[in-house]
Structure 1
């Protein structure tokens, strides 16, 4: 029987999640492989008997396998950024501070290494009413979306921590938004994320992160929990063939750099060091050549496009580059106190002291994690 165009199924995703081939499932359910293929492709609508056989073979309810498109629930969510009109806007969803937040999966935000599966499909934003609210047709389980923690930050530690955490809490999902320190903090203030990661130094107070958080939160209460202290400095070609030792050497030796965007800790470090050594920003070749991640800094040097750029010792190690240390910086997690009682956030934070998490960070290199999980400030 040909399948009704409005009948949807996720047979393939459940089958592959269980490590079954089409033939494996066919053997267990007592049907042909062609039947499995036809159902998954939408070319065949199974009978009640076949549907029950498939559900039993996969250990789930028939309703988990098949549904009508019009039966998919919708929620109202707030878009985190404006998006040009697209026919289908794929989004990730999370519940933050009592409202649904929709993160557009567009351009680079649609990928990590592989394409990111969507949680829903959003309609057009209600721009006429002056809001970014959209109606989102859900493509995943509501329970999974409720059990999501959203972190914004720029350190690779976050993704390592998230992967390790999901091993103990399989129902927990960690959604990682890549953002520089100030962008992450602003995202927290706008209610778009649960946690912001940052590594900003205030030369006036000699403190890390705390002055920036106090200024940005505007009366909101938060805690700062440290991940560790990492080494920041200049990435250079392997063996440092130009003999770069300071930011002044970059000018004296005619080196070309790549810079990070305003608001990033790496850019702040470069500007502060240039000011300390009384080097005008604009005489440094490449000061206005901007990339938006630690990875892109490293790749610019690996490819020979530039001679140097500011990043961390762990990134230098990962890409086999030379490293000139400039400063040790503390990387903190900023969390609004109102989120600390939420079960997904508690589950995530509880794993900071676990040995497997710490082992992942230790082997990464360039981090002192002796105080990981400590509350360094309450604001």
Structure 2
């Protein structure tokens, strides 16, 4: 009846429009299955691209839906070229050498491309690209706006459009993406590491589907919601908790400088590594320094920044800094000591319109609330999953 998908040929992919056509005809999966004399499970598997139909089944489906087989299933070139807006800072060199690898996402009808190198020094070698930037001349052809580029895809476009772009600083979002792939074959997460404020700004610019933030209100101690109420229209967004984590000072093994609080960071023999302006960790450092009567200018290394919690931990482990503000799980990843300062909620912010236009987002939030995912991040250490998946009242 159906045949299992084999490894795709590098030159072409099957573009599957069965669900689109079935829905347009007003048929449920069960109704189509009954009329085509196949099982509902077969229809579900074909629509999810887990299986390819045989010629006989494809003909039956086309007959029931009063269309052609070619309209339901067609080969699509993997070398298709699309236009995308290049974001995430510096434009890669497009002259000599290999063409830059990029990840591609589609948000609100617009394609965005980011260099894979933006994932970081480790993930850039473990996450496959979605395509490659065309040459400088091809990318600029017909466009005065240099932010637009031509991308030659290395995957089929339909699969790319299922991806969910998440901006934020929790590295566990990549685990969420892996659990999501186990539940839904065609859906994955593209995580872009950036501080809370930058993530929220990327969301407002329409460059990502979801922004992850951890910003504690100094006066109330409440996580995220006071900040979001000041800057967002509450009726247009949903806020879902990813987890509650421990934030504090990451220090070297054995804590040789005997750092106990942020007051120790102003000592002459202590050097810190900071996060970029707008990051939740930097905000916490500033809050605690101010409460202790100090300014950032009194801290050696305050102006030097790292790009993520893991980057902070790595620089401390290499002896390039004595301490940095971060999360417990990052400290544990590098066998560092951790001085807890507070527990804070890490929330995901998503425009409500995306929940209807990108149905895979519901699968992501279902994954977050699932027992397998919650058990795994709880086992990492430093995470409390009691409220994971909970909708917060913005």
TM-score, normalised with respect to structure 2: 0.73
The question of whether the paired residues in 1 share the 8 Å contact of 2:81 and 2:150 is answered with: yes
2:86 counterpart residue number: 79
Matches of 2:142 and 2:311, distance apart in 1: 34
The Cα shift of 1:250 comes to 2.2
Name the CA shift for 1:127/1:241 in 2 (closer, same or farther; >3 Å): farther
1:353 counterpart residue number: 369
Matches of 2:322 and 2:120, distance apart in 1: 28
Matches of 2:145 and 2:230, distance apart in 1: 27
Q: Does 1:133 align with 2:148?
A: yes
Among 212, 227, 236, the residue aligned to 1:212: 227
1:91 counterpart residue number: 102
The Cα shift of 1:121 comes to 3.0
Aligned residue pairs total: 321
The Cα shift of 1:106 comes to 4.5
Among 121, 142, 151, the residue aligned to 2:132: 121
Q: Does 1:251 align with 2:266?
A: yes
The question of whether the paired residues in 2 share the 8 Å contact of 1:199 and 1:330 is answered with: yes
Matches of 1:279 and 1:310, distance apart in 2: 16
Matches of 1:178 and 1:310, distance apart in 2: 16
The question of whether the paired residues in 2 share the 8 Å contact of 1:126 and 1:132 is answered with: no
Name the CA shift for 1:84/1:299 in 2 (closer, same or farther; >3 Å): closer
Matches of 2:277 and 2:199, distance apart in 1: 13
Matches of 1:68 and 1:133, distance apart in 2: 23
Q: Indicate the SS of the match to 1:143.
A: helix
Matches of 2:334 and 2:211, distance apart in 1: 26
- TM-superposition CA deviations, 1:180-229 (whole Å, max 9, x none): 11111111111111111110112145432223334444687111101121
The Cα shift of 1:152 comes to 1.0
2:170 counterpart residue number: 155
Matches of 1:211 and 1:125, distance apart in 2: 43
Matches of 2:364 and 2:170, distance apart in 1: 17
Among 384, 387, 392, the residue aligned to 1:368: 384
- TM-superposition CA deviations, 1:144-188 (whole Å, max 9, x none): 112111111111221111112211112212111111111111111
Matches of 2:121 and 2:163, distance apart in 1: 18
Name the CA shift for 1:187/1:323 in 2 (closer, same or farther; >3 Å): same
Name the CA shift for 1:107/1:372 in 2 (closer, same or farther; >3 Å): closer
The Cα shift of 1:111 comes to 5.5
- TM-superposition CA deviations, 1:25-56 (whole Å, max 9, x none): xxxxxxxxxxxxxxxxxxxxxxxxxxxxxxxx
The Cα shift of 1:136 comes to 2.7
Q: Indicate the SS of the match to 1:202.
A: coil
Which sits farther off after the overlay, 215-224 or 261-270? 215-224
1:270 counterpart residue number: 285
5+ unaligned residues in a row in structure 1: which ranges?
A: 1-8, 14-58, 62-66
The Cα shift of 1:116 comes to 3.5
- TM-superposition CA deviations, 1:52-111 (whole Å, max 9, x none): xxxxxxx999xxxxx998x94333322224515504343221221122222233466586
Among 151, 155, 172, the residue aligned to 2:187: 172
The question of whether the paired residues in 1 share the 8 Å contact of 2:236 and 2:352 is answered with: yes
Among 322, 346, 353, the residue aligned to 1:307: 322
5+ unaligned residues in a row in structure 2: which ranges?
A: 1-8, 14-51, 55-74
Query: Matches of residues 286-301 of structure 1 in structure 2 within 5 Å?
Result: 286-301=301-316
Q: Aligned-pair RMSD on alpha carbons?
A: 3.0
1:33 counterpart residue number: none
The Cα shift of 1:271 comes to 0.7
Query: Matches of residues 27-106 of structure 1 in structure 2 within 5 Å?
Result: 72-81=79-88, 83-87=91-95, 88-106=99-117
The Cα shift of 1:368 comes to 1.3
Q: Indicate the SS of the match to 1:331.
A: strand
The Cα shift of 1:339 comes to 1.0
Among 342, 346, 354, the residue aligned to 1:327: 342
Matches of 2:169 and 2:214, distance apart in 1: 9
